[in-house]
Structure 1
Amino acid sequence: MKKTIAGLAAFLLLAACGPESRTVGDLPVITVFGEIEAEPTRAAMDPDVEPLFARYGLVFEAAAELSWPQLAALEQHRIDTDYPAGGPVRHFSGPLLRDVLGLVRPREEEIVVTALDGYQRSLARMTLDVHDVILAIRVDGDPIPLGGFGPAMIVWPRAQDQALTGMPDDDWVWGVFAIEVRAESTSPAP
């Protein structure tokens, strides 16, 4: 637990130490890597200064970084749903996850979403095309904070989509900071 907290603190400190031309609002919220066609906006992962990526085995030669303003500039969708399941109804908003992925033009069908605590879920892009899953950046009208569900959260429309009725919370990833696009694996989701 202490290592995870120390890793998170190091990640946040390093994220804040970017080039002087960047403002805090321009800092990356999500790093997308793997089989993408988008022009890279950052270099290879450096395990010496990016311990969280290293700890979770997120190694890449190049990636696309997406900032909060970039995510907020996409069409925003609202999902009113209980989270956790059976809990209070919250008002989540953000772009459709398929629109976020559209920014990086994925070449493969599987994405692996990683949270700050190391929780990972594998999702098929086809599922995202069928259901209006959002990458929430706001909850109850306010930006999702770190220490809460932030910086971003995968939210499913289980209250609006009958096919998702009774869905458990396993694929509701909060604290999302990385998305890997890769070929579909034959092993079950973590």
Structure 2
Amino acid sequence: MQIRMLFTSLALTALCFPTLALALDKPKGEVILTISAAHLDHPNIDETAQFDLPMLEALTSRTGEMETPWTEGKVKFSGPLLRAVLEAAGAHGSTLKIIALNDYSAEVPVEDAAKLDTILATRMNGDTMSVRDKGPLFLIYPFDKDASLFNEKYFSRSVWQIKSIEVSE
């Protein structure tokens, strides 16, 4: 009886917290994001957490339609919540260094992922984002939910063409 209750409890936990994983699968397709940290709870390749597009799109996500300084008119962005990606990797720390394909980087407090519905956008207007269109990943703040975020502080953290995230204390 106790074993059945334990399995039921574990099954309910998995249903209630789908981004919690005991292990992170290895990517089957092209790696588009690598997360590194002093310690990751769920590394899948060496000491990093690497993701392909299907892995990212399987995480808890959000879609938001908003205006940005980098696009014309309202644009619909969708992708996993940044906090869901960090949880899947088991990344802990206080600062994220978001690094683009051209090695541009920005420091982002982990608090932005925890408290704001920041999107690691994989799609713009329903289409996967190519490098030409600021892809494969673009950190989007919830400008549609909070107009006070529409300022230079958050614009400077909105990195596009993201390739990796380094997590530090």
Q: TM-score, normalised by structure 1?
A: 0.68
**Deviation per residue, 1:33-54 (Å, 9 max, x gap):** 02332343224xxxxxxxxxxx
Alignment pair present for 1:91 and 2:69: no
Match of residue 37, structure 2, among 34, 39, 43:
34
Structure 2 counterpart of 1:169: 155
- Tell me: CA distance 1:89–1:36, structure 2 relative to 1, closer, same or farther (3 Å): farther
Counterparts of 1:137 and 1:143, CA distance in 2: 6
Structure 1 unmatched ranges of 5 or more:
1-21, 44-61, 184-190
Q: CA offsets, 1:9-49, max 9 Å, x none? A: xxxxxxxxxxxxx86xx121100002332343224xxxxxx
* Aligned position for 2:128: 143
Q: Which amino acid aligns with 1:111?
A: L
TM-superposed CA distance for 1:74, in Å, is 1.1
Matching residue of 2:165: 179
Is 1:73 the counterpart of 2:58? The answer is yes
Count the aligned residue pairs: 142
Q: CA deviation at 1:156?
A: 0.6
- Distance in 2, matches of 1:120 and 1:143, equals 22
Secondary structure of 1:84 counterpart: coil
Q: Does structure 1 retain, via aligned residues, the 8 Å contact 2:139–2:158?
A: yes
Question: Is the deviation greater in 155-164 or in 129-138?
Answer: 155-164
8 Å CA contact retained: 1:156, 1:172: yes
Q: Secondary structure in 2 aligned to 1:160?
A: coil
Q: Name the aligned partner's letter for residue 117 of structure 2.
A: D
Contact kept, 8 Å, 2:33 with 2:50, in 1: the verdict is: yes
1:144-177 superposed Cα distances (whole Å, 9 cap, x missing partner)? 1122211111001113214314455211111001
Aligned mates of 1:141, 1:169 — CA distance in 2:
22
Cα 1:147/1:162, change in 2 over 3 Å: closer
What is the distance in 2 between the residues matched to 1:157 and 1:107?
22
| Structure 2 unmatched ranges of 5 or more | 1-26
Instruction: Tell me the residue number matched to 2:17.
Output: none
Aligned 8 A contact 1:136 1:154 in 2: yes
User: Which residue in 1 is equivalent to 2:99?
Assistant: 114
Once residues 66 and 148 of structure 1 are traced to their aligned partners in structure 2, the CA distance between those partners, rounded to angstroms, is: 20
Identical counterparts, % of pairs: 26
Rate the CA distance shift 1:86–1:137 in 2: closer, same or farther, 3 A: closer
Q: Contact (CA 8 Å) 1:85, 1:169: kept in 2 or not?
A: no
Contact (CA 8 Å) 1:93, 1:134: kept in 2 or not?
yes
